[in-house]
Chain A
Amino acid sequence: MTPGMTSPLVEGKMGTGGSPRTKEACIGSPINVGVDVVEPQPRRKCPESSLKQALRGARMRGSLNVTLESPKAIQLPNPLNDGPSSSLKQTLKRARERGTLDAGLESNPGKSPRLDYVRNTAASSLSQAPVVASSPMTPQCTLKASTITPPTPACLPSTERVKPRCLFGSEDKRAEILSNHSRAGTPNKHVKATPSKSVRSTPKKAKTKDDVVDTPSMRKSPRFVRAVQRNLNETPTKERRRHRNTLEPGQRVPTKKFVHKESRNAARRTGGSSQKEQLRRYVKKVVSEGVEYRVGDDVYVRKGVKENGDNAANGGAEQWSDSDAEVEDCVLCGENGQSIMLECDECLGGYHLRCLDPPLEEVPEGDWMCPVCSAVARGDNVERSTHAKRRRRTTRERFIAQDIWASRIEKIWRDKEGTLYFQGRWWALPEETADGRQPWHGRRELFRSSIADENEMNTIIRHCFVMPPDLYAKAGHEGDDVFMCGHEYDFRHQTFKRIADEFDDVSEADDSEDESFDPSRKSKYHSLVSSDDDDDFDNEFDIKKKRCTPKGTPKGTPKAKPKSTQATPKAANVWKGRVDRIEGVGAKAVPRPRKRPLTYLEKAKAALGLSAAPTSLPCRDKEKSEIEAFLKDAVAAGEECLGRCLYISGVPGTGKTATVLEVMKGLRSKVDSGELPPYRFVEINGLRLPSPEHAYTVLHEALTGQHCGWRRALQFLDARFSDSKPLQGVHARPCILLVDELDLLVTRSQSVLYNLFDWPSRANSRLIVIGIANTMDLPERMLPRIASRLGLHRISFGPYSHTQLQQILATRLEGIPAFDKQAVEFASRKVAAVSGDARRALELCRRAAEITEMRVQPITTSFTTCEAAPASSVPVHQQDSSNEPPESQIACKLIGMSDIEAAIAEMFQAPHIQFMKRCSKFSKIFLVAMVIEQHRTTMVETTFEKVVSAFMRLCVTHKEHCPGEDLIMTVGCKLGVSRILLCEPAIRHRHQKLQLNFPCDDVQFALKDDKELSWLSKYL
């Protein structure tokens, strides 16, 4: 590893931090047959085994469940190969048995299985199918045995022109397919051959384009044509089924489940669905030549050409004349040597370290620009063209040049002829957005578009990897095909939207994951990847829940509420029963990322925010383990899950809800790993319901997915929970119900609470209820029948002590030396003395950080006149980055006791004393008059008449001009409005009752040292 490589801190929401990329020379694949394996030198990137490393990287990312451990696996008879590819194999077998397959299927499991298309029709209409040898695509390298990793130049000295493998290809039938496709009207067949064998490819049918110019903003949907196999004797379904059942010995049985289901469902599938979808069989992953393609992978996709084919020559030629080099050559020397290559951040060109002038020893930190780009940036006119021509283009470059496209596989299926198709969501380059590429777009930045299309799997070239920004920053050495995507782009509205983490909200994720895969219900929380993880392989039901048609219009589910059938445009705020993404909301342009790293103060502020929850809550381990034990017990109890209610109480800000949610996260991971049976999680908040009875609606909707009024929901739930026979299947899962702010569900008859806590005690209800409230004795205040149920298990969250608060603050501020130690202790002691509320402590420290920031870099915008702000103006304290004080002055930037004191004064002090000190002269006299009256009558309450007489006496005595009664009335009322006095409405005139809102001592304290009216102190 190159030492010392750090990536600049990526800000949470914006930022394109990246590490300088290096190109390395190829690394020999350890599995290449007969080739000298070049030992990988310490380098950060290995383009040749980019795929391998990229796969590893993608695995790190976690979203690719790649089970392929190493390319080595390919060589061996790997049951893995056989498993997922069984679908392919079976098609092949089917074809073979039908007698229409000429090429034999190599039964060598080591080799990647190919899908030989069965096509009889001969055709050669497509001229651009210079199939085999003449095409530059033909693999000239036959040595490459590994199909995963493209061969490196080192091991294949003959050529670096490695073509991306063509998948699913059979050369013999290529022509037929060509003709098929051409007949069907589709153009293009590129013939690409797999490098591993001289197997020819099937013509690929990539995305076709209409005659309309391919504007960047609108990709038309593919004119998707099926290859109709008219000449085939189609095996009737039954036969097919039979064939499928007989597997070759030695081949791994692809989960019987798959088979049975298929057969069962094939019969079940009726003409309800559309023709197209009727015969789809969905698969999760497909293996071809040892490369596994799963739902969720990113792949390069071949571009299509125009239909009429007149562009075919150009397009074809263009697409074939370039080869897809896997590895870049050095710009300067044109070779792909073994030394480390450095990638320029501007032009993404690769340079050997030793080729540079002066030669560098190690990879420089931060961004690096090649000499050409630096010269251009400086303003010199430099010829750029030369260094572009000499090199062959890698796939990535072709992609960036918009020669090929990239998409993410969302679904894979096989249609009834056995062709594999996939639906993929396109990745858009910044050039394709409305404003084009902006200077702050990263060179490897992509946007997820709102358009998804269906294509054949033939069109896939190979993997690429698109990562979210944080992973991208960490992925310094994953290969050439790594891109970064932080935003979504909507072509229709031309807006950007940041991609949220999928599992930010525990309850949302829980709902989507833990609920069973029930095709009849629509999930409110539909995520991008469809949440049907239940079945292993097959996913027959196309729920018809397309996220977007190619035109970017959302569709509701067929089971959507009747509201969606209105002809009028749907109102955005009527939300029941719709998918939860609003179209059309998005930023017009992604804001510029901050160029400079965060200061300590800013990091501290970010870490102390209430929304920045830590991964684990400190100081709550005991309670957490109790709750966890309770829940695990309850969930694992299965049949005996009776009467599980838990009551959690504690003052606000002690971490009750946060702890419960954290426990739920932990349980979810346990479910994933199989230790616990799956469960359902529903969260209800008493303050979010319009009325307590709506709790029934929410629960009902969560359990069944249907929305109805609360009375019907109550009936249904009652029936369901009183049912004596146990629930089957999906509904047999235990349901954990979390009721937050329980005291707001109390009604006069307390029926809601009674029901909620009674249902768990019935047999077969499988309901576990956790209630959270503030009062410790809430059960005692309820009717006894509820108290007995509610009060069984109780956990009380006490307020935090000052040591605990200190620990909490320390956990949050780990690694950020922005606070004085004493300051933290002072803050926690103060808050612990007042309330013990963790939120208060965090807010206090955050406010202190802000005060420090204002002290160090004050804002100097002037608000006195409404001047036009200059377009790029940002309040000055943020522009001072260039003038940041040197490290030696950091000490004064630490948050000290004085800042904490200022923050405490702001937050905890009542403002009335300050106010009384500064109010108007007559107000002060009025207050003193009130004090006099109070002392005289020893009653707090007085009438306006009396106060006025006292007022006038004071004025006369001290030679102040006395205003009229009405004006004194206004003075009094103004004090009343600010709640310094409590007074009746002024309509009562002289009978108005008045009272001081604060003790006399406060008035005395405030007014005794008044400079203007020094005689006031006599009376106080």
Chain B
Amino acid sequence: MVSEEEVVEAVSFLRRRLCAAVWETGVGAAGPPLLPDVEKNCRNLEACLIGTIENGSNNSVLLLGPRGSGKTLVTERVLAHLQRTFPERVSVVRLNGLLHADDRCALKAIAEQLCLDHHLVFSKTAAFDDNLHFLTIMLKESALSHKSVVFILEEFDLFAQRPKQRLLYNLLDSMQSTLTQAAVVGLSCRLDADELLEKRVRSRFSNRKLLFLPPSSEDICQLLHDVLMLPTDGSLGDSPFISMWNENTKKVLEATMQDIIGQTVALDPSPHHIFDLALRAVCNLDQGRGLLTVADFKAANTLLHSQFKREALQNLSVLELYLLVCMKRLESKEQEVCNFTIVFEEYQHLQETHKTSDHYSREIALRAFEHLMERELIIYADFRGRNDAIEFRPVQLLIDNLELQEGLSLNPQCPVILRQWFEHMTFK
């Protein structure tokens, strides 16, 4: 029988590997394995940065790829490796397009990080001019002290969408002088990020791109397999549990390969997505049993790929369902944009014709309407102010026919008449 501690240890090891993928770059960290393409990009980036550190050639490179494909991971790993290989000769400045919304902010952040790195005193009140001058001086001094500065710009496309691309221009222009030893690494998920650059900036940017293309399904399945294997080289202990685990996992993966994993890969083959699935499966693990099962993966799949609108429909009250159906009817009558009053009239009409027991007053209906609004099944159609009363603002329905039908059928409280009425409407 498997012991609790072993299971716990194995599970925590795997969770660490899957969760903290990016930031665990220290020595002995249990980082996840890399895809072969990603590893190739790692080497390219490293070659590029070593060129800067050793030979003093200033480089700029863009890392492009969809979200979750490993750009930040690669950058952090390469930087950690370089800091180990060349101690005290690399100084890193990290900027993010989302955080540093302005070029002034960005320059201030650069000045702050450089001051921290070199143990200088930083003043928050320095002007743009001062900071820029400081940047130039520091680049020169770093070059003279054989230190290279690496600028990491995440969300690079946001930097390129600033009005004058001042920061990019200044950084790339300073790399043209001999007295600088710097590299600029831009990370972006937009594939056309370099076309956003202005012609001046584009001319100064060396058009090096490292692409993080989506992997093939074989690669990604192999990756999943590698990630869920416990290491057999003794770093996690030497119990027979490890080999048991590995065998079991292999079997489970093969069983689920077609449907669950296949569906996941078909949706989004990025490593991040796959690790998400694996993480949820591991977290769902039954500690008593101690091994992965297909059921774990199924549960993970439902968690990960939940359809929120369907679930929302399942939890609605009857009145709300009535209102939705009314809106659908109005839509089928070519009145796509309506407001509450019209909907309520339709509802009343329905009640009159069919004499159901679900007759509610206007205020309650309004309340139900607001609830639908909060669930985002309905949205205001106009983007103007909120001065008008709720009843009179136009709204739009955000649910499809199919969705509504499914929701109605799944909802336990849905009266039969409503369903019939809905179907009747669609057949009309």
Binding site for B on A (CB under 8 A): 12-14, 488, 495-500, 504-505, 569-576, 580-582, 584-588, 590-591, 602, 605-606, 609-613, 651-653, 685, 687-690, 694, 697, 741, 744, 774, 837, 839-840, 843, 846-847, 850, 853-854, 858-859, 861-869, 873-875, 877-878, 906-908, 910-912, 914-915, 918-922, 945, 948, 961, 963-967, 970-971, 974, 977-980, 987-991, 997
Whole-angstrom distance between the Cβ of B130 and the nearest chain A Cβ? 5
B27→A591 contact, CB < 8 A: no
Determine the distance from Cα of A948 to Cα of B178 in the docked complex, in whole angstroms: 56
Determine the chain A residues whose CB is within 8 A of the CB of B77 once the complex forms: 863, 866
A582→B138 contact, CB < 8 A: yes
B214→A915 contact, CB < 8 A: yes
Determine the chain A residues whose CB is within 8 A of the CB of B133 once the complex forms: 575-576
Q: Which 6 A-B pairs have the closest CB atoms?
A: A571-B123, A652-B203, A572-B120, A573-B134, A921-B266, A690-B128
Chain A minimum-CB-distance residue to B206: A843
Determine the distance from Cα of A504 to Cα of B84 in the docked complex, in whole angstroms: 32
Determine the distance from Cα of A391 to Cα of B104 in the docked complex, in whole angstroms: 66
Determine the chain B residues whose CB is within 8 A of the CB of A499 once the complex forms: 144
Question: Can you list 30 pairs linking A and B with CB atoms under 8 Å apart?
Answer: A498-B146, A505-B179, A572-B115, A572-B120, A572-B134, A573-B114, A573-B134, A574-B130, A590-B146, A591-B146, A605-B55, A611-B177, A652-B203, A840-B203, A858-B43, A861-B81, A864-B39, A866-B25, A868-B84, A911-B213, A912-B192, A921-B266, A948-B400, A965-B307, A971-B267, A971-B268, A980-B191, A989-B379, A989-B398, A990-B399
Determine the distance from Cα of A908 to Cα of B208 in the docked complex, in whole angstroms: 9
Chain B minimum-CB-distance residue to A691: B128
> Which of B89, B178, B376, B402 counts the most A-chain CB atoms under 10 A from its CB?
B178
Determine the chain B residues whose CB is within 8 A of the CB of A990 once the complex forms: 398-400
Binding site for A on B (CB under 8 A): 24-29, 31, 33-34, 39, 42-44, 46-48, 50-51, 54-58, 64, 66-67, 74, 77-78, 80-81, 84-85, 88-89, 104, 111, 114-115, 118-123, 125-134, 137-138, 140-147, 164, 166, 169-170, 173, 175-180, 189-192, 199-200, 202-204, 206-209, 211, 213-216, 263, 265-269, 305, 307-310, 376, 379, 396, 398-400, 402-403
Chain A minimum-CB-distance residue to B192: A979
Partner of B191, one of A591, A911, A991: A911
B267→A575 contact, CB < 8 A: no
Whole-angstrom distance between the Cβ of B194 and the nearest chain A Cβ? 9
Partner of A961, one of B81, B206, B263: B263
Contacts A605-B57, A859-B47, A922-B267; is A687 near B307 (CB within 8 Å)? no
> Which of A498, A878, A920 counts the most B-chain CB atoms under 10 A from its CB?
A920
B47→A875 contact, CB < 8 A: yes
Whole-angstrom distance between the Cβ of B127 and the nearest chain A Cβ? 7
A977→B122 contact, CB < 8 A: no
> Which of B133, B179, B266 counts the most A-chain CB atoms under 10 A from its CB?
B266
Determine the chain B residues whose CB is within 8 A of the CB of A689 once the complex forms: 129
Determine the distance from Cα of A974 to Cα of B127 in the docked complex, in whole angstroms: 40
Partner of A584, one of B64, B119, B127, B211: B119
Determine the chain B residues whose CB is within 8 A of the CB of A914 once the complex forms: 211, 213
Chain A minimum-CB-distance residue to B196: A979
Contacts A911-B64, A912-B191; is A505 near B177 (CB within 8 Å)? yes
Determine the distance from Cα of A889 to Cα of B31 in the docked complex, in whole angstroms: 40
Whole-angstrom distance between the Cβ of A703 and the nearest chain B Cβ? 17
Determine the distance from Cα of A574 to Cα of B178 in the docked complex, in whole angstroms: 24
Contacts A866-B26, A964-B310, A978-B66; is A839 near B204 (CB within 8 Å)? yes
B141→A585 contact, CB < 8 A: yes
B58→A609 contact, CB < 8 A: yes
Secondary structure type dominating chain A contacts: loop
Besides the known contacts A580-B137, A869-B81, A990-B399, 12 further A-B residue pairs in the complex with CB atoms under 8 A apart:
A14-B146, A572-B122, A573-B134, A574-B126, A575-B137, A586-B144, A687-B173, A878-B50, A906-B207, A921-B265, A921-B266, A989-B379
Determine the distance from Cα of A910 to Cα of B173 in the docked complex, in whole angstroms: 25
Determine the distance from Cα of A569 to Cα of B58 in the docked complex, in whole angstroms: 33
A572→B121 contact, CB < 8 A: yes
Determine the distance from Cα of A721 to Cα of B253 in the docked complex, in whole angstroms: 82
> Which of B57, B78, B140, B204 counts the most A-chain CB atoms under 10 A from its CB?
B57
Determine the distance from Cα of A581 to Cα of B136 in the docked complex, in whole angstroms: 11
Contacts A864-B39, A966-B308; is A873 near B85 (CB within 8 Å)? yes
A915→B191 contact, CB < 8 A: yes
Determine the distance from Cα of A505 to Cα of B177 in the docked complex, in whole angstroms: 8
Whole-angstrom distance between the Cβ of A845 and the nearest chain B Cβ? 11
Contacts A573-B131, A910-B192; is A869 near B85 (CB within 8 Å)? yes
B267→A864 contact, CB < 8 A: no
A586→B134 contact, CB < 8 A: no
A861→B267 contact, CB < 8 A: no
Determine the distance from Cα of A920 to Cα of B265 in the docked complex, in whole angstroms: 7
Determine the chain B residues whose CB is within 8 A of the CB of A591 once the complex forms: 89, 146
Determine the distance from Cα of A610 to Cα of B33 in the docked complex, in whole angstroms: 37
Partner of B207, one of A569, A840, A918, A965: A840
Partner of A500, one of B29, B122, B179: B179
Determine the distance from Cα of A581 to Cα of B22 in the docked complex, in whole angstroms: 38
A979→B191 contact, CB < 8 A: yes
Partner of B121, one of A569, A609, A920, A987: A569
B175→A918 contact, CB < 8 A: no
Determine the chain B residues whose CB is within 8 A of the CB of A961 once the complex forms: 263
A574→B85 contact, CB < 8 A: no
Chain B minimum-CB-distance residue to A14: B146
Partner of A966, one of B34, B178, B309: B309
Determine the chain A residues whose CB is within 8 A of the CB of B28 once the complex forms: 866-868
B57→A606 contact, CB < 8 A: yes
